[in-house]
């Protein structure tokens, strides 16, 4: 068992860092130099591509699209959209001349396979012409085998001097998102590090002590970057993995440093600074860090069940970060504490120096007993508040990733907004219907196309054309937007033959079909991810406590806290609240993968605080305290630490809220809200209430499991 092995390694690791601390620090500095030299360049090697990050490569829509693209020799949907403002009017002589000039420059690019515009569609109600007739767009199809990003950059450069011309589309939006992520990371670092140091001065009570978690955080981030560099050589990773590495790396480094340092200060008061105090710290707080890092890593690894690059990149980044933060907190940090001794409190005002906290008269002790005097009332009220906060999640709507996630100042976003607001829907995101039929079946397929055109949710249908051996392509323009419900229902109807049954096998590709497949694929794999998450959490918490009741109760409390956080996300981002404060424009839903990432991150972090609290409760109980007294003592000894750790982690990960990318902002706000809820409402109110109600049953386990736990001494380091 991984947990058992990790605990067995803790003893020799403790001897190493207490016997040879300077050697450990020299090795740490050498490793940091290596990680910076080899790992830091990964920031320029990861990429963003909506066609890779958020789709299932094996889905019907993606496989069909690839086959049709290869058969046609170009992209089936326009990867590049050029918006042309004609001033007096698209159909005027000057407007037509300007459009011809723009199209000529576009078609001169070697990466362009075909263009469609008002020049190729002269109808009065052409979908390429805005409703007011003053602007139009050119749909640019990238040649098969050509790089869409490079083609978009060349076209943008070629048209830079043309007034009233803007270049957008997915091929341009992808690089724009990548550039924005890099800017956001730099801004988040500049914001988070000074603020974290200022808060750490107060929380850690000294300048030297405040620098320790930042050093551990730097080591954790660079270690994760090094790991990402190696993984990226084997499989392409998404650039969004960097956001998680930095935010979670800082957050966990601060958490674990606070756990270790606070316990070391307790032990120094008993044994004085030095080896014995540090060994006792490693046996207690070190054990907590082992359980916590394994729990967070296991939670993040649950995302590996999904095939989308964005999700498995977050899984790899999150698990590397958790394991790295745990290992560094058990090696470099104890070695530093061993060398520093009582100098860890140097440069701290005398009134900030650590003093023993009264365990039976402190605020958290009194609050716990107050809660346990009315456990039913507190438990019911708290659960009701959390459930009520989560009710907005029952009406959640989902969106995809396109140019709309960019800030309003981005040219790609401006093009996307114009297409949505000024042009007929569906023109840039048609459905590609692939029909497997003999080459002689043109008449039957024309009749099928006519039946499709007769549907109320279809705006236009191109005649079927043979693009390969027994493969026909019918282009269907929906009457609604690509991700709107009528279009998604249209995809399902065509596949199922509802309203327009085909005599031959039919497949559907295109942006709308990809979203339908993405949603179905995530839903199909979600039970497995939840099972992995729940089972690993139950096992790790059983190993730590020897109880089967406490792990189940922890799962229930995590679900309540998560539901409240999800509800707040819907209330804010889907409903369009706090747009001015958070500087975003609502998309009318949440990006479809964000609840999954938030589920893994928050589940791991919530269990992290639960592990820390349960460790101190169990410690008091093992020392002879009653269940009620053990709960009060455990909460008193951890209350300030958990609250401080949560505050610092909210700052570290909450810095995501400054991102200009909407779904990264959602992740930051959601994580910060969930951590705040867990560290306050759940830990301070719900935990003591439920511990009181269950009494000694909290520690129950079936006899076979209890014997295994006792035989293997899993509860000891």
Same domain, 568 and 510: no
Same domain, 136 and 147: yes
Which residues does 227 contact at the CB level (< 8 Å), separation at least 6? Answer: 39, 316, 320, 324
**Closest by CA position to 140, among listed 166, 163, 122, 177:** 166
Residue 364 lies in a domain: yes
Range of the domain at 448: 411-516
Residue 113 lies in a domain: yes
pLDDT at 39: 92
User: Which of helix, strand or coil describes residue 434?
Assistant: strand
Cite the DSSP H helix spans in 360-399: 363-373, 375-390
Final residue of a structural domain among 127, 150, 168: 168
What whole-number distance in Å separates Cα of residue 443 and Cα of residue 449? 10
pLDDT at 347: 63
Same domain, 473 and 582: no
Write out the two tokens for 224: 């994760």
Q: How many beta carbons lie within 10 A of that of residue 154, not counting itself?
A: 17
Residue 38 lies in a domain: yes
Contact 606, 678 (CB under 8 A): yes
pLDDT at 702: 92
Residue 660 lies in a domain: yes
What whole-number distance in Å separates Cα of residue 344 and Cα of residue 347? 9
Same domain, 653 and 548: yes
Residues 521, 523, 525, 526: is their CA dihedral positive or negative? positive
Same domain, 311 and 456: no
Final residue of a structural domain among 516, 539, 561: 516
Residues 569, 571, 577, 581: is their CA dihedral positive or negative? negative
CATH number of the structural domain spanning residue 477: 3.30.70.330
Same domain, 434 and 453: yes
pTM, two decimals, is 0.88
pLDDT at 638: 86
pLDDT at 431: 94
Same domain, 312 and 342: yes
Same domain, 135 and 231: no
Contact 534, 687 (CB under 8 A): no
Residue 95 lies in a domain: yes
pLDDT at 715: 47
Same domain, 543 and 593: yes
Helix (H) or strand (E) holding 51: helix 50-53
Residue 402 lies in a domain: no
Same domain, 10 and 128: no
Which residue's entry shows tokens 């024309």?
446
Final residue of a structural domain among 168, 203, 221: 168
SS3 content of the chain, % helix, strand, coil (to 5): 70, 10, 25
Contact 431, 444 (CB under 8 A): no
Same domain, 228 and 146: no
pLDDT at 712: 66
Interstrand relation of 112-116 and 398-399 (parallel, antiparallel or unpaired): unpaired
Report how many helices (DSSP H) and strands (DSSP E) the chain contains, helices first: 25, 11
Contact 397, 447 (CB under 8 A): no
pLDDT at 463: 92
Same domain, 137 and 285: no
Residue 529 lies in a domain: yes
Contact 514, 59 (CB under 8 A): yes
Number of domains in the chain: 3
CATH number of the structural domain spanning residue 85: 3.30.70.1320
What whole-number distance in Å separates Cα of residue 229 and Cα of residue 240? 14
pLDDT at 3: 53
pLDDT at 5: 53
Residue 69 lies in a domain: no
Phi, psi of 458 (to 5 degrees): -115, 130
**Closest by CA position to 238, among listed 407, 412, 45:** 45
End-to-end CA distance of the chain: 14
Cα–Cα distances in angstroms (integers) from residue 188 to residues 147, 184, 195, 220, in the given order:
31, 6, 11, 17
**Regions of the chain where pLDDT drops below 70:** 1-8, 50, 347-360, 712-717
């Amino acid at each position: 068992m991984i947990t058992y092995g990790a605990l067995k390694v803790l003893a020799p690791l403790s001897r190493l860092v207490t016997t040879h601390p300077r050697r450990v620090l020299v090795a740490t500095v050498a490793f940091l130099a290596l990680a910076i030299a080899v790992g830091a360049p990964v920031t320029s090697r990861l990429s963003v591509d909506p066609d890779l990050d958020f789709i299932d490569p094996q889905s019907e829509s993606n496989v069909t699209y690839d086959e049709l693209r290869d058969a046609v020799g170009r992209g089936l949907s326009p990867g590049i959209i050029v918006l042309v403002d004609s001033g007096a009017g698209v159909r005027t002589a000057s407007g037509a001349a300007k459009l011809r000039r723009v199209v000529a420059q576009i078609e001169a690019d070697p990466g362009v396979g075909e263009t469609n515009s008002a020049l190729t569609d002269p109808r009065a109600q052409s979908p390429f012409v805005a409703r007011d007739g003053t602007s139009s767009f050119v749909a640019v199809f990238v040649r098969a085998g050509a790089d869409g990003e490079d083609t978009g950059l060349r076209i943008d450069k070629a048209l830079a001097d043309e007034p009233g011309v803007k270049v957008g589309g997915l091929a341009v939006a992808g690089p724009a998102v990548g550039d924005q992520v890099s800017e956001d990371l730099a801004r988040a670092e500049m914001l988070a590090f000074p603020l974290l140091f200022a808060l750490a001065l107060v929380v850690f009570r000294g300048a030297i002590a405040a620098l320790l978690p930042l050093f551990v955080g730097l080591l954790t981030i660079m270690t994760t970057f090094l790991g990402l560099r190696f993984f990226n050589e084997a499989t392409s990773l998404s650039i969004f993995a960097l956001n998680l590495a930095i935010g979670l790396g800082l957050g966990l480094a601060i958490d674990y440093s606070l756990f270790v340092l606070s316990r070391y200060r307790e032990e120094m008061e008993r044994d004085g600074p030095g080896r014995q105090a540090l060994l006792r710290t490693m046996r207690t707080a070190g054990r907590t860090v082992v359980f916590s890092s394994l729990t967070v890593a296991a939670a993040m690894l649950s995302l590996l069940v999904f095939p989308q690059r964005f999700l498995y990149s977050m899984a790899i980044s999150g698990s590397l970060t958790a394991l790295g933060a745990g290992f560094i907190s058990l090696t470099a940090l104890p070695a530093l504490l061993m060398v520093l001794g009582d100098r860890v409190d140097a440069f701290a005002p005398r009134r900030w120096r650590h003093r023993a906290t009264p365990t039976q008269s402190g605020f958290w002790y009194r609050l716990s007993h107050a809660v346990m005097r009315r456990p039913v009332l507190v438990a019911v009220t708290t659960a009701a508040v959390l459930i009520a906060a989560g009710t907005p999640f029952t009406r959640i709507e989902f969106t995809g990733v396109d140019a709309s996630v960019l800030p309003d100042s981005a040219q790609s976003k401006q093009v996307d907004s114009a297409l949505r607001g000024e042009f007929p829907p569906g023109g840039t995101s048609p459905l590609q219907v692939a029909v497997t039929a003999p080459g002689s079946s043109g008449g039957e397929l024309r009749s099928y196309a006519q039946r499709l055109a007769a549907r109320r949710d279809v705006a236009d249908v191109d005649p079927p054309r043979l693009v390969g051996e027994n493969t026909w392509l019918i282009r269907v323009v929906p009457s609604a937007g690509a991700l709107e419900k009528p279009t998604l229902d249209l995809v399902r109807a065509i596949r199922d033959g509802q309203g327009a049954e085909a005599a031959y096998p039919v497949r559907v590709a295109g942006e709308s079909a990809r979203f339908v497949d993405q949603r179905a694929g995530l839903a199909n794999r979600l039970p497995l991810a939840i099972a992995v998450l729940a089972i690993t959490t139950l096992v790790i918490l059983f190993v730590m406590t020897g109880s089967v009741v406490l792990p189940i109760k922890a799962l229930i409390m995590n679900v309540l806290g998560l539901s409240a956080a999800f509800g707040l996300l819907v209330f804010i981002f889907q409903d369009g609240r706090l747009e001015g404060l958070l500087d975003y424009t609502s998309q009318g839903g949440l990006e479809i993968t964000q609840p999954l990432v938030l589920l893994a991150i928050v589940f791991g972090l919530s269990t992290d605080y639960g592990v820390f609290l349960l460790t101190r409760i169990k410690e008091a109980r093992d020392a002879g305290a009653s269940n009620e007294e053990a709960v009060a003592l455990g909460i008193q000894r951890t209350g300030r630490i958990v609250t401080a750790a949560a505050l610092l982690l909210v700052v570290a990960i909450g810095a995501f809220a400054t991102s200009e990318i909407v779904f990264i902002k959602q992740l930051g706000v959601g994580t910060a809200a969930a951590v705040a809820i867990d560290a306050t409402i759940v830990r301070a109110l719900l935990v003591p209430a439920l511990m009181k109600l269950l009494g000694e049953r909290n520690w129950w386990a079936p006899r076979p499991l209890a014997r295994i736990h006792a035989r293997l001494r899993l509860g000891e380091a």
